[in-house]
Amino acid sequence: MIEDLELSELSEKSNVTGDSLVKIDPVIYGHLKTTLEVVVGSVEMTVNQLLQLKAGSVVKMLEEVNSPMILKMDGKIVASGSLVIIDDNFGFEISEIID
């Protein structure tokens, strides 16, 4: 069964508590940029299955709908959480920092 996924809108600032995602001195390193990626899911398939994909094909991920998503910083897993909507954009709400 294929269904559309509805995301809740984040209307107010959540209670942000706990440790920071990255522990560095912001005075020294605060100007540096990094790349963050949200990993929604993954799938394994054969090359033959890959070659058969066309526009409109649906690829079923291994993760269930309510599984936490992963946040990566420069390719390294740093947190898990869930997608939210902020205005007309996707957002990521961190639920756990991963050391």
Whats the size of the chain, residue-wise? Answer: 99
Residue 21 · residue 94 · CB < 8 Å: yes
Confidence tier at 14 by pLDDT (50, 70, 90): low
DSSP letter for each residue of 65-81: TTSPEEEEETTEEEEEE
The 8 Å CB, 24+ separation contacts for 35-40 are 35/73, 35/74, 36/71, 36/72, 36/73, 37/71, 37/72, 37/75, 38/69, 38/70, 38/71, 38/72, 38/83, 38/90, 38/92, 39/69, 39/70, 39/71, 39/72, 40/69, 40/83
Go through the domains of the chain in sequence order and give each one's CATH number: 26-97 (2.30.330.10)
Quote the percentage of the chain above a pLDDT of 90. Answer: 44
What is the per-residue pLDDT for 39?
93
Q: Give me the mean pLDDT over the 50-68 stretch.
A: 92
- Mean pLDDT, range 14-23, rounded to an integer: 65
Q: Are strands 76-86 and 89-97 parallel, antiparallel or unpaired?
A: antiparallel
Q: Is the pTM of this model over 0.75?
A: no
Which of the two residues, 14 and 22, has the higher pLDDT score? Answer: 22
Angle among Cα 54, 55, 59 to the nearest 5 degrees reads 70
